[in-house]
Amino acid sequence: MTKMDKDGRDGSGRGTDECCLIAESMIDELHQITISERIATPSGGRRNKVSFKRKIMQQIRNARRFATVG
């Protein structure tokens, strides 16, 4: 049994869309952060930041997949 909105539509679709929008905005923010860090930080300390970014990006992708499947 699915929860319906006042308009008679399924509410889960809107939640999925909202989750994807949040994930996309987080990805955009991560790109902006890494660009500004590259400008401010010498190339010596970049290795850990890249791995952190990759972990976060992977978590966002997994959350997106879960939202579209689940």
Instruction: Please state the domain extents for the chain.
Output: 12-69
Taking each continuous run of H as one helix and of E as one strand, the counts in the chain are 2, 0
Q: Which amino acid is at 1?
A: M
User: Token pair of 40, please?
Assistant: 């401010």
Q: Give me the tens of pLDDT residue by residue for the chain, a chain 70 residues long.
A: 344 455 555 555 677 778 778 878 887 877 777 666 566 655 555 555 567 778 888 888 888 787 777 6
pLDDT recorded at residue 36: 61
Q: pTM surpassing 0.75?
A: no
Question: What is the radius of gyration, based on Cα positions, of the chain?
Answer: 17
> E strands of 6-69, at which residues?
none
pLDDT recorded at residue 2: 45
